[in-house]
Chain A
Amino acid sequence: MSIFKRRPLVVITGLVLALAAACSDPHPQSTFDTHGPVSASQANIFYIIMYAGLVVFIGVMALIIYAAIRYRRRYDDKDPEQIHGNNTLEIAWTVAPALLLVAVAVPSIQTLWNTTITPEPAAMTVRATGNQWWFEFEIEELGVVTANELHIPVGEVINFELESKDVIHSFWVPKLAGKVDMVPNNTNTTWLQADDVGEYFGQCAEFCGESHANMRFKVVAESREDFDAWVEAQLAESVAPADPLVQQGHDIFMSIEAGCWACHTIRGSANAFGQVGPDLTHFASRRHMAAGIMENNHENLVRWLTDPNDVKPGNVMSRDAAVYNDPDQALSEPQVAALAAYLRSLE
C-alpha cells in the first residue's frame, strides 16, 4: 500500500527537479526576469490578471468536476427535474465577472498609459530603424550610427523613435520592455530604461519575411562612464590599415569588383558611404554579428563572407552583390580571409 501512496510523490519530485533544471538554463528573453521599470510594470499586470484568471479557472473546474461526479447517471435513475433556468443565478454570474473585470482594468489601463508616455526627462532619443533583416540605431544628438548592438546608460530613460525601411518589424527587448512595431511611413515612439548593467537580447517580433527568425539585436546597458567612452569610440573615424593583410582586405572592400563600399559606410575611408547595409565603421567593436545571431569572431565572419545566404537565407547582400550572385566573381578563400582581417580591424 505505502509504495502506491509514495509513487505520486516520486513523480512530482521528478517533475519539480526537471522543471528546476529547465529553469536554471539561461532564459535570455524571459519576460519574468525584468530589468527595467517598463517590463516590471507589464509583468506586474500579467501577474494580477493571471492570478485572477487562476481563481476563475479553479472555480469553474471545481463546479464541473463536482457536477460530473455527483450527477452521474445511475441505473435506477428517473428523469431529473426539468429545470429551465434561474434569473437570480443569471444576474449573479453576469455581475460578478463584470466587477472582477473592472477591478483588473483599472491598474491595467494605468500601466498602459505609464508605459506608453515617456517620463521626463529622457536622457536621449534613439532612432531605431528596421530593415530586412537587421536593426539600425542612430543617436542623432550624439552623432552615433550603429547596427544591431545599442549601448545605453543604465538607470536613465531612453526615448525611441521607431521606423522601418521596408516591411513591418517589431522592436522588442523582453527583459526591458514590451514590443512596439516598426511600421514604414509611420513613426512610433516608446521608451525603456535598464536598471541593471548587462547585455539584453532583443528580437524582431513581427513576421517580416524569409529570415524573420534571424533578425535579432542586443542592448548593452552600462554605467554612464562606460557609455560615454563607447560614444567617443563610436564617433572616431576608422584608421588607415597598417598590416599588409588588412590593407589587402581594405583594397578588396573598396574595389569596383567586390563593391562592398556601395552599400556599407566606413567613415574615414575614401569611398565607402553606402546606405543600404549596416554601418561598419566600428564593426569589430560589436560582440555579435549578422543581426545578433552569432558571436563576432574570425570563423563566423569567414563563414558569413563565404556564403551569407547559408547563414541568413534570403538576405539582400547575397541576392544583390555580384560576388555572391555571380559564381564567376565569387571571392576566393584568401580574399575572404583578407576581407575578414580588414573588418576585424575596424575597432
Chain B
Amino acid sequence: MTRKFKNIKGGVTLPHKKGTSEISTKILPIPKLVEIPMQQHIGACCEVLVNKGDYVYVGQVLGDTAKFVSAPIHSSVSGKVIQIKDIILYNGSKSVSIIIEPDGKQTVLPDISKPDISTKENFLKAVRSSGLTGLGGAGFPAHVKLDTKDRIPEALIINAVECEPYITCDYRAIIEEGREIVKGIELILDKLSISKSYIAVEDNKPAAFTLLKELTKDEPRIETVMLSTKYPQGAEKMLIYALTGREVPMNGLPIDVGVVVMNVTSVLALFKYCQTGMPLVSRRVTVEGDGVADKGNYQVVLGTYIKDIFEYCKGDNQKTLKVLCGGPMMGITAESYETPVIKQNNAFLFMTQEDLDFIEETACIRCGRCIDACPMGLMPLTLNKYALAKMTEELEKYHIMNCIECGACSYVCPAKRHLVQSFRVGKDLLKKAKVKNG
C-alpha cells in the first residue's frame, strides 16, 4: 500500500482473538422451535400479519409496517404459527414475537421469484422487500441508507473492517463468498450510478485483503484498501474519517459527506436476494468463547434460540456464565438461553469465569483516559456524572446523543466505571425530558 490513511481520533488497541477465522462455516440444523421478534431493526416496530394456527412458508412476510424507517420480517422456516406473545426487548421496550413450529420440509413460498431491479426505484423497492438491515450490528434498514434521493454519492464504502475481537463472520463471508460480494458491489454501483467504491479491510486480515484485491483487479471502480488495526474503526463515522478525512456532521448521515457505507455481509445478502428473490431468512454468526467446545461460524436461520446453538456446539452449562449477542465491546447480554437470533446478531460469545471479571466500580479519579479513548471527542467522565445525577440539560450540552456506545471509554477506565450503561440511561432520560417538554 502506498496510500496513507488518516488515523481515527481516540480509539483503543484490542487483542484480536480471531481464533475461528480459519474454520469454515457449518450449517446449523433447523431447530424444533423458532421465535421471530417484530423488532429487528432501528425504527418502527412491525405489525403482525399472520394469525395463530396459520401455516407459513419460508420467505413469507410475517410482519410489516407502512413507516419508512423499517424493514419487513420474513419467516425463516416453513411450519405452523403456534403462539404470538409479548416480549421485552433488551432495552426494556415492549414488542411482539411469533413462535413457529417448523415442519422440517423448508417449503419455499411459491410466489418467490427474481425481483425486478431494472430501474433505481424498483431496485430500492426490492431492497426494502428483501427485509435487509445493516448486518454489521446496528440494524439500520438498508433501503433507507441506499435511498439518497437526488444526491448521488461520490463513493460507496464497503465495511469489512470487523474491528471487534472474536468476530470472524465477515471474514469468513469474504473468504467463502468473495466473488458474490464483488458482484454485489458492482450491482449497487450500477443501480445507484456511483463511480467509486472502497472495500476497507484491517491489516489483521491479510488473506481477505489479498483475495479481494485479486477478485477486483479487473474492476477499476472498486479499490481494496488496508487500514491499520484500531477499535472502533468499523463504526461508520470512524471509517468515513479514516478513508476520506471527512467528518459526518452532528445528527447527520454519511450521505451528507457524500458517501454510503454498507457492511460486507449486507452486500452479500442483497446480491443473493437479487439473484434468487429469497429474502433475508438466515445469516452467518460466529460462535466463540470457552463455554462451547465447537467454536466457529455457523449459518443459522433467524429465530433460532441460543440454546439450540449452544447444544449443537457442545456448550458446557456449568462453565458458561454470560452470553453476549455481538462482540465483547458492544454486544448485548442475552436475557436467557431462550433469546432468538435476530438480523443484527453477528456473534454469540459464551463467556466463562476466566473471560469475565466482575470488578466493583470505584470513584472516578478524573485521569481523563476516557477522553483520550473517545473516538467521538466527548467527555465520558462528565457525561457519566451528569447521567447519574439525571441532569438532562447538561447532558444535551455535552452532546450525549453523539455517543456511539463503542465502549472504548469503559475499556480504558481504571476505576471500572459503567460508563456506557450510564450513557444509555442518560440518553433515555434526555429522550423522556424532550417528550415531556414538547
- The answer to whether A and B belong to the same complex is no
Residues of A within 8 A of B (CB): none
